[in-house]
Amino acid sequence: MVKAKPSLGNIVRHIRTSNGWTLAEMSQRVAIPLSTLAKVEKGHLTLTYDKLVDLSDRLGMGLSEFLNSSAHTAQPKGMARRSVGKSDAEALSVATKNYDYRYLCTELRGKIMIPLISRVRARTMEEFGELIRHPGEEFVYVLEGAIEVHSEFYDPVTLQAGEYIYLDSEMGHGYLVTGGYDEATVLAVCASAAANLQQALISQARAEMAKAGEPAPGPESHKAKAPAPKKLAARPKRRPSVA
């Protein structure tokens, strides 16, 4: 039997039907408009990371538990666990204004570490908006392209492919694509002793989207595979200005 590709719509539908809720009842419980929730369930709309945290919180779940809520991947938490990923189709993709996230190993519940692949698109702090904060610490390794790391208490630092940073996530921080690239791809691992780490992470994405309004995701929002970064032919290599 072929395992269904993870999707936000399948997760939401599974949670709703498992609890015997109608769309209207779930809409009231999670404070998401009925029309929006219906589009999410049908796969026509995605939710930003912060909204996912808020949604799972309103459902009384940790984010890792929420991401694992499907009929095909349900698995009790236990000892000697492991997760092996061999296909991009196994990742759960969520698109936001500044980043496209691919959550990895979502079948494991109650994880301390939240691994993900992120595609960075914002070029300036004006475009990025307010720095984000969430409980715990994070490690970011640049896979492709180059990023400029902005943080609350340090000067910006540029990282090329193969370079990395470890930082306190409760300090305001944000990543910009730089070096003349269209986009950059990073591996990020967020970790915290807090039970609701992923919820807090998504809460930060809320600040990202609140000022720009809800995006209108298209088919690209559901693609799991991130394309290689492309150089801009005539774009000078300059650092984006900080607001």
Residue ranges and CATH numbers for the domains of the chain are 8-75+86-222 (2.60.120.10)
The answer to whether 98 touches 88, Cβ cutoff 8 Å, is no
Above 60 in pLDDT, residue 37? Answer: yes
Average pLDDT, the chain: 78
Tell if the pTM clears 0.85, that is, is over it: no
Q: Is pLDDT larger for residue 20 or for residue 70?
A: 20
Angle between helices 197-210 and 49-58 (to 10 degrees): 130
Above 70 in pLDDT, residue 204? Answer: no
SS (H, E, C) 173-216: EEEEECCCECCEEEEEEEECCCCCHHHHHHHHHHHHHHCCCCCC
What three-state secondary structure class fits 117?
Answer: strand
Biggest CA–CA distance in the chain, Å, is: 56
pLDDT of residue 56: 86
What residues contact 26, with CB distance under 8 A and at least 6 apart? 12, 15, 16, 19, 37
Above 90 in pLDDT, residue 112? Answer: no
pLDDT of residue 243: 45
- Over the stretch 59-94, which tens digit does the pLDDT of each residue have? 888 777 888 776 554 445 456 778 888 877 777 888
- Over the stretch 126-136, which tens digit does the pLDDT of each residue have? 999 989 887 78
